[in-house]
Amino acid sequence: MVNSITTHTGIVAPIDRVNVDTDMIIPKQFLKSIKRTGFGQNLFDELRYLDVGYPEQNCSSRPLNMKFPLNQERYEHASILLTRKNFGCGSSREHAPWALEDYGFKVLIAPSFADIFYNNCFKNGILPITLVDSEVEFLFEKLYSTENFSLCIDLVNQSVKSNFGEEFEFKFIIDSFYKDCLIQGLDEIDLTLKDREAIKKFEKQREKICPWIFGAIK
């Protein structure tokens, strides 16, 4: 199961650069683990800290790069990430959405995402929203000029809305299958298990037709 999303309201943090690749999101030295948890402290590790990080390190005493947004108090509790074109490019490592989700990000907003990264986000309960350049630029302007800038994301109605102050609303497009999975909180395993009885029935029928296959397995 993944966390379901219908609506989400949260503080927005900026990563104001294009072509942020997955090695920048979670550097290669942290790919040794496949636990899917614990990667949040190393999200954007090379940008966030002034030293070189390594797996299972205690990050509480590491020197911080205070110019990096996630180290600044105004973005401390951000759950929505606003960024630029081609976010998540580079290698296909699923550790990238793992790190974003473990840190606490529920929603990503950008003009475009790398395809594999975009699909991996849905598999891990993160909503990636694509808006046009002018809308993203508008949000960056509002973010920089507004303390604790937050947005309301309505997945059901596919909209990004102001949470306070000036009213605005941007619509986004999303595949109906991915939308339904996020609303129900289903990943690929959950979807398969919904058909468990049909799978069992098929296996019993198959075993009668091809018993030698199942004999090898047993």
pLDDT for 216: 57
Cα 136 from Cα 31, distance rounded (Å): 31
Residue 195 has pLDDT above 70, yes or no: no
Q: Is the dihedral of CA 119, 123, 128, 130 positive or negative?
A: positive
* Tally of CB atoms within 10 A around 217: 7
Q: Which domains does the chain have, with CATH numbers?
A: 7-186 (3.20.19.10)
pLDDT for 164: 77
The tokens for 132 are: 């046009």
pLDDT band at 218 (very low <50, low <70, confident <90, very high): low
- Encode pLDDT of 63-118 as tens digits: 999 999 999 999 999 999 999 999 999 999 999 999 999 999 999 999 999 999 99
* Tally of CB atoms within 10 A around 157: 11
Q: Is the dihedral of CA 41, 45, 51, 54 positive or negative?
A: positive
Angle (CA) 105 109 110, round 5°: 135
* Tally of CB atoms within 10 A around 35: 8
The tokens for 153 are: 């994301």
The tokens for 174 are: 């999303």
Chain centre distance of CA 47: 18
